[in-house]
């Protein structure tokens, strides 16, 4: 006996909570898959609600809306079958479901067994774990249905194989970080080889608040070799074919997109994250304070790539300490990108603030207060433009600055979203160089000159911080790996630098809690990943 089954893999950019919209997109993809002669279309985890729906799952009426739209989906799709994901509320609790729909009827439902509750995941807050495998005899081939985390651990896949599954179908909401695609493929390939069965892996695509879902759906053969690889960071539909020849079941792919290099991957994640956050929140345009420095230069370029030049405004806000070089380079970049460019001096408003505050300041000497007033004048200007025009402010602080609090609350931290919040300073430079290799839009001098906030004469970042070549590795160890201070020193970093950095990180939690959300591209970002109390009596020992 020989037979073939054509299976469509759907990377759909869904909207969390946009259940009607998401069902419309599934229907659209189903029609496209029918035209490709697919028998079955596989969508991602919780595709009806988008992933992660978070506390929407607790809202009265949310799950009834899911049921209504699930019924509409069943009634609307004919001539092709579906595997989809949705939440299901029962008397036993709420389950994360993967389901098979055949001829408009739900024939099988599988409840996700392994619920992740680490890093950015909180599934045990919402869902009850399933306990049974789901093996579906589909057109003569037995499909083992699993959901995301199930494939990362021993248990669910192996049980499905024991119960006769010949191909594993795994639907996912797997978020991106800079090494995730390689890590994910390795885990899935190892699992396929271990159980000696092909795997079909379908992942969500799109930005959701801080998270970016990269898609990169793929299929492996029973030997753990990738035989089908879809694009990253793009909505896509493609097809694989399961072939039965007697007792042998194999899988044949039709697409093999090479994996992106790291810088290309990160840059595309930033572009997707910014574009989706802006559009999904109902904005069309953004405004950025373009200072002539590297952070605003990269942010502006990302914004243009995400939204188009017509939808980006840049405002240069010079002060007496702003160099001619900065003003020239900001204008040159704006011209290279073809964006709307404005110049608004903050000198008059700064002088007015300082004059009005003089009675409160008394005879106290100038200090960082006056520097922060400059930053807050700029923040006020950006927010006024935003209010008047409806453009969202993109803030420009990088991860290094966010870590140590090298930013001004209600000043340069003002904004609705931050493209580079999770991008360390050294990586900012590397991404700028990468983007310039595509087209030279960031002036070379912006990349090569010494970084400076330009809030006082002859100021440079290294006046207040360790050199970024030292700062960034210490931050990675302490922030992303929770490495004890003594262990960081043991790796060759000076005790003075380590002490300075961890003290700055710990005392600036209050600033980070008030910062705009931003794209997550590391394994541990501020926000969903790393959660520390603002008020805390614990301090790591800095005396060894």
Task: Report the distance separating Cα 469 and Cα 229, nearest Å.
Answer: 36
Give the C-alpha distances (Å, rounded to integers) separating 534 from 116, 392, 408, 462.
26, 28, 17, 27
Direct distance between the N- and C-terminal alpha carbons of the chain, in angstroms, rounded to an integer: 72
266 sits in which H/E element: helix 262-280
Give the C-alpha distances (Å, rounded to integers) separating 86 from 47, 63, 68, 96, 272.
6, 9, 12, 6, 24
Q: Is the peptide bond before 334 cis (omega within 30 degrees of 0)?
A: no
Report which of 204, 213, 207, 215 is spatially closest to residue 276, judged by C-alpha positions. Answer: 207
- Given 112, 180, 191, 285, the catalytic residue: 112
- Given 38, 43, 134, 148, the catalytic residue: 148
H helices present in 362-508, as ranges: 368-389, 399-404, 425-438, 444-448, 468-475, 485-490, 495-507
Task: Report the distance separating Cα 113 and Cα 146, nearest Å.
Answer: 8
Report which of 275, 272, 266, 278 is spatially closest to residue 429, judged by C-alpha positions. Answer: 266
H helices present in 36-176, as ranges: 62-76, 156-162
Which class for 541: exposed (0-12), middle (13-18), buried (19 or more C-beta within 10 A)?
exposed
- Assess whether 45 carries a catalytic annotation: yes
Report which of 237, 205, 210, 177 is spatially closest to residue 50, judged by C-alpha positions. Answer: 205
Question: Crossing angle of helices 294-307/425-438, nearest 10°?
Answer: 50
Provide CB contacts within 8 A for 144, sequence distance 6+.
Answer: 133, 134, 135, 136, 157, 160, 161, 163, 165, 166, 167, 168, 169, 197
Determine how β-strand 141-147 pairs with β-strand 135-138. Answer: antiparallel
- Assess whether 112 carries a catalytic annotation: yes
Token pair in block for residue 29:
């993809």
- Assess whether 148 carries a catalytic annotation: yes
Residues with a known catalytic role: 45, 112, 148
């Amino acid at each position: 006996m020989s037979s073939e089954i054509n299976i469509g893999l759907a990377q759909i950019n869904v909207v969390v909570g946009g259940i009607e919209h998401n069902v419309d997109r599934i229907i659209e993809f189903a029609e496209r898959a029918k035209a490709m002669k697919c028998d079955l279309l596989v969508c991602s985890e919780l595709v009806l609600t988008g992933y992660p729906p978070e506390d929407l799952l607790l809202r009265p009426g949310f799950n009834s809306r899911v049921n209504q739209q699930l019924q509409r989906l069943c009634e609307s799709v004919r001539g092709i079958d579906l595997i989809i994901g949705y939440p299901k509320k029962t008397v036993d609790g709420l389950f994360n479901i993967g389901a098979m729909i055949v001829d408009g009827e739900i024939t099988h439902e599988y409840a996700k067994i392994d619920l992740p509750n680490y890093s950015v995941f909180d599934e045990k807050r919402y869902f009850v774990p399933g306990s049974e495998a789901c093996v579906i005899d589909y057109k003569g081939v037995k499909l083992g249905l699993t959901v995301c985390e199930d494939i990362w651990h021993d248990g669910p896949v192996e049980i499905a194989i024991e119960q006769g599954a010949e191909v594993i179908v795994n639907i996912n909401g797997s978020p991106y970080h800079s090494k995730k695609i390689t890590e994910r493929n390795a885990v899935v390939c190892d699992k396929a080889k271990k159980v000696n069965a092909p795997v079909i892996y379908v992942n969500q695509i799109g930005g959701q608040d801080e998270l970016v879902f990269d898609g990169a759906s793929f299929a492996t053969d029973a030997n753990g070799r990738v035989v089908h690889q879809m694009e990253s960071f793009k909505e896509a539909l493609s097809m694989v074919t399961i072939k039965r020849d007697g007792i042998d079941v194999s899988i044949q792919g039709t697409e093999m997109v090479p994996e992106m290099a790291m810088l290309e991957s990160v840059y595309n994640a930033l572009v997707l994250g910014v574009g989706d956050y802006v559009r999904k929140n109902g904005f069309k345009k953004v405004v950025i304070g373009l200072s002539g420095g590297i952070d605003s230069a990269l942010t502006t370029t990302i914004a243009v790539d995400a939204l188009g030049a017509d939808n980006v405004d840049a405002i240069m806000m010079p002060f007496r300490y702003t160099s001619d070089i900065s003003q020239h380079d900001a204008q040159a970049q704006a011209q290279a990108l073809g964006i709307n460019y404005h110049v608004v001096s903050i000198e008059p408003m700064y002088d007015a603030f300082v004059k009005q505050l003089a009675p409160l300041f008394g005879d106290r000497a100038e200090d960082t207060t006056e520097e922060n007033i400059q930053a807050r004048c700029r923040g006020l200007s950006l927010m006024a433009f935003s209010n008047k025009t409806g453009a969202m402010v993109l803030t420009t602080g990088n991860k290094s600055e966010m870590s140590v609090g090298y930013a001004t609350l209600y000043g340069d931290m003002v904004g609705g979203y931050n493209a580079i919040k999770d991008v360390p300073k050294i990586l900012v430079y590397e991404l700028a160089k990468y983007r310039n290799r595509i087209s030279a839009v960031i002036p070379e001098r912006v990349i090569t000159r010494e970084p400076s906030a330009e809030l006082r004469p002859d100021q440079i970042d290294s006046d207040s911080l360790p050199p970024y070549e030292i700062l960034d590795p210490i931050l990675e160890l302490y922030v992303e790996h929770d490495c004890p201070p003594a262990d960081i020193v043991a790796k060759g970093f000076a005790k003075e630098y380590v002490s300075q950095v961890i003290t700055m990180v710990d005392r600036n939690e209050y600033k980070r809690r008030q910062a705009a959300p931003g794209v997550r591209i590391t394994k541990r970002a501020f926000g969903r990943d790393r959660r520390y109390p603002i008020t805390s009596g614990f301090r790591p020992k800095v005396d060894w």
